[in-house]
Structure 1
Amino acid sequence: MARETKEQKQKSREFDKLKENLKLRFVSTAHLMYGREIKDLTENEVYQTVAATAKQFISDNWIKTNKTYAERQEKQIYYFSIEFLLGRLLKSNLINLGIEEAVKEVLEDFDLSLVKTFDEEPDAGLGNGGLGRLAACFIDSMAAHRLPGHGCSIRYQYGLFEQKIIEGNQVEIPDNWLKNGFAWEYRKPDKAIDVKFNGNAYMKKMPDGSLKLVYENPMTVMAVP
């Protein structure tokens, strides 16, 4: 039988340490979110717990990244698109964090399946088709090349639509993809702004000869990122 090399032993110890850390975070996150033991969670709650656990690692990186941007005064790219076809994010996030195998083993210790957990994630209802896929690919590429960038779009409450065939006819119903929330977002009410629609806008000449924009009777909608 071949002996483990020093490097293999070190990797094995690091993996065991990561797995133990993940298990502690997974259990404490489940207790915090649902106040129940792991064995009492529904399949969707297991997904939400795994996602929230991964999000803790992502958040650590996100905070460090923003700090670096601020210190270096990095220019950033803002990609505006009416839609982003992101797909399911849990698997790719676990892979990119380098923790997929450790999470798989943690779940197996609780007689849970990571594959079934992946199936619980809904597709984000933020896009459909070529335009949305192209926009998502640009964001993926920027991340892969470590370019500071963001995707900017609209958070559609009901996506495009969910198709059903009833008595031979297509029927469109809302895609309620947010019924259990979106695990990967942060709501930022402190950055909310008012957006004005309709009404009348014109330039008014002031006594000193300057022009002032006047916007009357608009419909105002609060936009919260």
Structure 2
Amino acid sequence: MDIYAFPPIAAILDAAYGALTALSAALEPLAGTAAAAAAVILVTLLVRALLIPVGISQAKAEQTRARLAPKLRELQKRHKKNPERLQRETMQLYKDENTSPFAGCLPVLLQAPVIGILYTLFLHAEIAGHANELLTHELFGASLGTSLVHMVFGGPFSLPTLLVYAALIAIMIVVAEITRRVFRPTPVDDSPLSSPAMLRMMSALHYLTAVFAVFVPLAAALYLTVTVAWTLAQRMVLRRRYPLSVPA
């Protein structure tokens, strides 16, 4: 069974296809052959603009967690030998402060449907029973419907695709490195989350987007690139607005 032929999903994809092709046609006089790529960028900026209130809430939650760091260290010392009690007290502390250690996941979860739709629109030859013209669009000669992994292992080889992907991945890696250096998590003494292994894993997560990008169509990789760049800029602005407390 083709899940994309399921009427509600097919209707959503068809509506998204119509909106994206209409936006691409409107941008064609300005962007030329890169009109569809420009449409993807514009959609990304619109989604990120709509998520600004979520980003503000996330910055406030991060500020709250930094303020709670001394209390968390105290809980660690008090219940060091009782992990279950420590977990309960920690979650109760977050609950009392109306925040969550997982607040930063919300923007990612809210964007997941958009990424899924873009992935599908640039993956299938047909959308809701009609030919998918989006697959004919390019960015600097690279097809928006081709992924780097597909090109390397499935062919045909395309130098423009390789170069465009290299540029996007380089941007994502630079953004990830800046994010890792600037937004280091506040360590909590004796916390499993502050162990060297956990900190290394958390640092590696910054680069996960760049890894994921090589498996998705170029249009989705473009969305991810604009998203991580916007996220970094937004976090830097909000960090100035909601600075973290300096540990004693």
Specify which structure has the bigger relative contact order, considering alpha-carbon pairs within 8 angstroms and separated by 6 or more residues.
2
TM norm structure 2:
0.33
